[in-house]
Structure 1
Amino acid sequence: MAESSVYLAVDLGASSGRVVAGSFDGTQVTLEEAYRFENGGVLAGGHLYWDLLNQWGNVVKGLRAAAAKHGNRIRSVGVDTWGVDFGLLGRNDELLGNPYHYRDTRTVGLMEQAFKTVPRAEIFAQTGLQFMEFNTLYQLIAMQQSNSPLLEMAERLLMIPDLFHWLLTGEKANEYTDVSTSQFYNPQTGDFARPLLEKFNLPTQMLGPLVKPGDKLGPIKRAVAEETGLNEVQVVLPGTHDTASAVMAVPAASVPGAKPDWCYISSGTWSLMGVETPQPIINDRMYQLNFTNEGGVGGTTRVLKNIAGLWLVQQCRQLWKQQGHEFGWEELTRRAGETQPLLSLVDPDAPAFVAPRDMPAAIREYCQQTGQPVPQSEGAVIRCALESLALRYRMVLGLLEELVGGELKTIHIVGGGSLNRLLCQMTADCCNRRVVAGPVEATAIGNVMLQAVTDGTVGSIAQAREVIRHSFSVQQYLPQNTWPWNGAYERFMQLVQRAK
């Protein structure tokens, strides 16, 4: 039997990071977590930052652990992270400060100011991206308005995964799936939207060459090889935006770029719900709906909507933990399942839920202000959040079907949220669609399998998805109790409309 090839995925999320070894034996791929560490923002001087050097130290530890176990079988390594955030390099590749966290408050209110310089419609026409106040464009404008000396000193802008690839190889390049979250990338030209940046009087000389998923960036630096015990293996770019890698791992049978008959939900802190299309969709309806075009693997575009996701549930659990109540996820789901259904609803994307100090209190206050029964127990609060999320999925599903001009028969849920059986069944019932949940480790799987495609051990993305279907179990949920959701959806839409 031939020896398995091993590909290392450095998978960094907003709350944790890990190094995962993916072993491919020619038929199946298996994952093994070599190292995991906590991640998160650091509040200092009134601003929220990422601790890049601590993150890098942990990545090195993870690579060392993987090298100790898998040695010469390791073929390549690639990094994926969250989007929008970035770091700046100055002369002699000097790192200029710590990267800001996307939840830092310095961009609050900046979008409306930006529209006075360049109209909202013109920004969308050049970028096709949804408007979110933490997009890279507004982060740069915030630096400009505060007269940050870093902006003047910057010679190169690197998105977060680009920073780690630079630390690994010394090569400075911008991978386009992550750049596509910046709101200064033009998906129609396949290049930076330099004319847009120039209208804002923002520097463009710091933008580097664009590279794509599957490109080889080069071998890791000798110093990194010596420190980790790795050979000088290749760094192969996955879809460096974690959602691009997660969608790569959707176990769908269609060829990438074909007209979609399925949609995906990459479910975690955020729910990224969308379709994989052969071309970007940039028209008035996309603009009105504030949908987005982000870069995908294999030359595809991910037409999607950002939804608050399990953020509400996570923040409730975190607050209860601070109060001395250590609820596991299974316990919270059980309690939610035992409470009365469809009693109280919220709009998960309402501003009240972006960053409240007390999420359960914010949910109760929203229900009170909208004349609904106020959920009292922990289970009732969680049920309210989960049911509201399922209703939001139904709303976005209808809009996606309108945008692509056809029915989406299956909803693929990947990521950690695919483990929440209650939410998956709610989604099937609410949307009246078949739900396929899994794989859980979609981001790392997508990262690993694109490396395998580049290495030639897997022939194509379509073949990689076939391997994924045979390697990981998925759970199917069929609609069971759909009729109560219709009235709930009418109530939900009234809440959403009231906020406009």
Structure 2
Amino acid sequence: MSVDGTAATLPLPVPNDRRALVAIDLGAESCRVSLLRWLEQGPRIQLVHRFANHAVERADGLRWDLGMILEGLYVGLRQCAEIATEGVRSIAVDGWAVDYVRLDDQGTAIADPFCYRDERTVAAEPVLHERLSAERMREITGLQLLRINSVYQMFADDVEKKKHSWLNLPEYVLHRLGGRAVSELTNATHTQMVGLDGEWSSEIFAVLGQSIADAPPIVPPGTDIGRVQGELAMLPAFENTRLIAPACHDTASAIAAIPDPGDDWAYISSGTWSLVGTQLEAPVNSATAREENFTNLGGVDGTICFHKNVNGMWLLRQCIESWSTKGTTLDLPALVEASMTFGPREYVLNVDDPDLMLQGHMPERINAQLRRRGLAELSTEAKDAAEMASFLFYSLAARYAHVLHSVAEITGKRFRRLYLMGGGSQNEFLNRLTAEATGLEVLRAGTECSTLGNFAVQLATLEKTGETVSRPACVWAASLANAQQS
């Protein structure tokens, strides 16, 4: 097994049009604007602008600062226009799923969107299932039941809000830039309002009290939805720039960037969440898949992302934030290094405890679970942070191994390799523990896979000949792994 491998690459196909491409990645902790250019020495991917993002607790709930996000994106796009003097051929946006923006009749946001961690869905989830059972919901959608999903958020919205149409965040950004209002398939499936047939479920919409006529049309990944309009279109670089809905869900974009044509690999998208699973040609909604709460989400090129959400680096970051409020600032890489000196305990944390999905007081929440289970608690003091971090890493690795064993049993696949994506893939200690727990060859696919997948889907769309894609997204993704990144 290895944690040092890198994904295979292919010679880069040359696009018909050498203008630059822009990929926007919306993240719950940071947002990025990246540029792909075709230079004499080869393709180059440049991170042009990154800015921090976080949800804000207000009197009316936990919300995203939409104005701040848009302002940061416009700063990055203007910088791209200055750099790419050859012009920008297209822009595409991916990001986290489930959160959405309610719109007025002019297509403008009526309020900042709620964050998926807002606690209003704690009460909404059981009430919704009094009207539509969890079993029936699962039967319709084939999705993992999670209270953060859009369906529970929309059920919690008041009657007045339900009179308004809506767009998920990546599609809203594209709409603000000038594109028509759509719901891209990989993002639409995350709402838990789409049936296994790929269409909005009238049965679910009826239970929500939400008009299905207000739902945006579902389009496949790689759909051209118009061109840049408004103030940005006045810049020479954005003249006739196309807007493309890629795989708008960032995990689907990241999976599209895995350059492996085989069928014997699994993936973990490791960040705030860990998404653990494999890629399939068709959904699996068997009794076992339903019982173990696996999800069937839309992927690129007609595939299915079959996985389970596992609590991820959120646990440690919430601990660090808790310690910082008490006056101790901790460096994450140094904390990871220090955590290696501790061995495993006789028990691990149930990382998917619903209480651990909530914000604030994470060290105390962890101990509350251990106390309920009659297990020895850990120190919640910042001076003992390394021991807490080590305990979390061992617990995550054990959970990954358990979930992957279930994936293999349910799908009938025999895995040999495990690709790690996202910021969490930089954690060498967790990577090693994961390799040991799973027995698989562990390969880092990269920290910015969603950017690569975003660019790959754009290129596959732009290089179409008639109705035939000359090269699928996976080929472009494998080739782009050669691109110099800065």
Q: Secondary structure at the match of 2:339?
A: helix
Counterpart position of 1:279: 282
**Distance in 2 between the 1:342 and 1:253 partners?**
39
The residue identity in structure 2 corresponding to 1:324 is: G
Counterpart position of 1:305: 308
The residue identity in structure 1 corresponding to 2:162 is: L
Correspondent of 2:145 among 131, 135, 144: 131
CA RMSD, Structure 1 to Structure 2 (Å): 2.3
Over residues 417-438 of structure 1, what are the superposed CA-to-partner deviations in whole Å (9 max), with x where a residue is unaligned?
Answer: 1110000110000111110013
The residue identity in structure 1 corresponding to 2:335 is: L
Correspondent of 2:232 among 203, 224, 227: 224
Correspondent of 1:41 among 25, 30, 55: 55
Residue segments in structure 2 that go unaligned for 5+ positions in a row: 1-13, 465-469
Correspondent of 1:207 among 215, 225, 249: 215
Bigger shift: residues 442-451 or 193-202: 193-202
Counterpart position of 2:5: none
Over residues 120-167 of structure 1, what are the superposed CA-to-partner deviations in whole Å (9 max), with x where a residue is unaligned?
Answer: 111111111111112111111111xxx431212x1x221111111110
Counterpart position of 1:194: 202
1:139-218 matched pairs, under 5 angstroms: 139-143=153-157, 147-152=158-163, 154=164, 156-187=165-196, 189-218=197-226
Alpha-carbon contact 2:45-2:483 (below 8 Å) kept: no
The residue identity in structure 1 corresponding to 2:60 is: G
Over residues 259-318 of structure 1, what are the superposed CA-to-partner deviations in whole Å (9 max), with x where a residue is unaligned?
Answer: x31111111000011111111112221111111111111111101100101111111222
Counterpart position of 1:487: none
Over residues 195-215 of structure 1, what are the superposed CA-to-partner deviations in whole Å (9 max), with x where a residue is unaligned?
Answer: 221244332110122111111
Alpha-carbon contact 2:267-2:276 (below 8 Å) kept: yes
**Distance in 1 between the 2:119 and 2:167 partners?**
21
The residue identity in structure 2 corresponding to 1:378 is: A
Deviation (angstroms), 1:452: 1.6
Counterpart position of 2:332: 329
Counterpart position of 1:408: 415
**Distance in 2 between the 1:15 and 1:338 partners?**
29
Over residues 211-252 of structure 1, what are the superposed CA-to-partner deviations in whole Å (9 max), with x where a residue is unaligned?
Answer: 111111111114332269532311112100111111111232
Counterpart position of 2:427: 420
Q: Give the TM-score, by structure 2 length.
A: 0.90
Counterpart position of 2:297: 294
Deviation (angstroms), 1:105: 1.1
Deviation (angstroms), 1:451: 0.9
Alpha-carbon contact 1:178-1:240 (below 8 Å) kept: yes
Counterpart position of 2:24: 10
Alpha-carbon contact 1:175-1:210 (below 8 Å) kept: yes
Correspondent of 1:114 among 128, 137, 140: 128
Q: Secondary structure at the match of 1:186?
A: coil
Q: Kindly tell me: are residues 25 and 286 of structure 1, through their superposed partners in 2, closer, same or farther at Cα, counting changes over 3 Å?
A: farther
> How many aligned positions are there?
462
The residue identity in structure 1 corresponding to 2:28 is: A
Q: Kindly tell me: are residues 27 and 423 of structure 1, through their superposed partners in 2, closer, same or farther at Cα, counting changes over 3 Å?
A: farther
The residue identity in structure 1 corresponding to 2:31 is: G
Q: Secondary structure at the match of 2:330?
A: coil
The residue identity in structure 1 corresponding to 2:149 is: N
Over residues 84-111 of structure 1, what are the superposed CA-to-partner deviations in whole Å (9 max), with x where a residue is unaligned?
Answer: 1111222232422221111111111322
Q: Kindly tell me: are residues 378 and 193 of structure 1, through their superposed partners in 2, closer, same or farther at Cα, counting changes over 3 Å?
A: same
Deviation (angstroms), 1:323: 2.8
Alpha-carbon contact 1:344-1:375 (below 8 Å) kept: no
Deviation (angstroms), 1:469: 4.7
Q: Kindly tell me: are residues 198 and 241 of structure 1, through their superposed partners in 2, closer, same or farther at Cα, counting changes over 3 Å?
A: same
**Distance in 2 between the 1:322 and 1:200 partners?**
39
Bigger shift: residues 25-34 or 454-463: 25-34
Alpha-carbon contact 2:258-2:474 (below 8 Å) kept: no
Correspondent of 2:453 among 433, 438, 446: 446
Alpha-carbon contact 2:257-2:474 (below 8 Å) kept: no
**Distance in 1 between the 2:179 and 2:89 partners?**
19
Q: Kindly tell me: are residues 358 and 287 of structure 1, through their superposed partners in 2, closer, same or farther at Cα, counting changes over 3 Å?
A: same
Q: Kindly tell me: are residues 359 and 172 of structure 1, through their superposed partners in 2, closer, same or farther at Cα, counting changes over 3 Å?
A: same
Deviation (angstroms), 1:20: 0.8
Q: Secondary structure at the match of 1:91?
A: coil
Correspondent of 1:383 among 386, 390, 394: 390
Q: Secondary structure at the match of 2:446?
A: coil
**Distance in 2 between the 1:321 and 1:426 partners?**
27
**Distance in 2 between the 1:353 and 1:25 partners?**
47
Q: Kindly tell me: are residues 4 and 319 of structure 1, through their superposed partners in 2, closer, same or farther at Cα, counting changes over 3 Å?
A: farther
Q: Kindly tell me: are residues 28 and 176 of structure 1, through their superposed partners in 2, closer, same or farther at Cα, counting changes over 3 Å?
A: farther
Q: Secondary structure at the match of 1:298?
A: helix
Residue segments in structure 1 that go unaligned for 5+ positions in a row: 255-259, 474-500
Q: Secondary structure at the match of 2:106?
A: helix
Deviation (angstroms), 1:461: 2.3
**Distance in 2 between the 1:280 and 1:106 partners?**
31
Q: Give the TM-score, by structure 1 length.
A: 0.87
Counterpart position of 1:461: 473
Q: Secondary structure at the match of 2:49?
A: strand
**Distance in 2 between the 1:200 and 1:139 partners?**
10
Correspondent of 2:249 among 218, 230, 241: 241
Deviation (angstroms), 1:73: 4.1
Alpha-carbon contact 2:280-2:303 (below 8 Å) kept: yes
Counterpart position of 1:75: 89
Over residues 22-58 of structure 1, what are the superposed CA-to-partner deviations in whole Å (9 max), with x where a residue is unaligned?
Answer: 2356996532111111111122223111121221111
Counterpart position of 1:432: 439
Deviation (angstroms), 1:468: 4.1
The residue identity in structure 2 corresponding to 1:18 is: R
1:458-497 matched pairs, under 5 angstroms: 459-471=471-483
**Distance in 1 between the 2:208 and 2:364 partners?**
40
Identity across matched positions, percent: 28
Counterpart position of 1:479: none
Q: Kindly tell me: are residues 230 and 57 of structure 1, through their superposed partners in 2, closer, same or farther at Cα, counting changes over 3 Å?
A: same
Q: Kindly tell me: are residues 112 and 210 of structure 1, through their superposed partners in 2, closer, same or farther at Cα, counting changes over 3 Å?
A: same
Bigger shift: residues 430-439 or 106-115: 106-115
Q: Does 1:340 align with 2:343?
A: yes
Alpha-carbon contact 1:5-1:25 (below 8 Å) kept: no
Alpha-carbon contact 1:249-1:446 (below 8 Å) kept: yes
Alpha-carbon contact 2:456-2:474 (below 8 Å) kept: no
Q: Secondary structure at the match of 1:246?
A: helix
Deviation (angstroms), 1:369: 4.1
Alpha-carbon contact 2:19-2:86 (below 8 Å) kept: no
Q: Secondary structure at the match of 1:251?
A: coil
Q: Secondary structure at the match of 2:461?
A: helix
Counterpart position of 1:96: 110
Over residues 344-389 of structure 1, what are the superposed CA-to-partner deviations in whole Å (9 max), with x where a residue is unaligned?
Answer: 5211111231225322233334334434443332111000001100
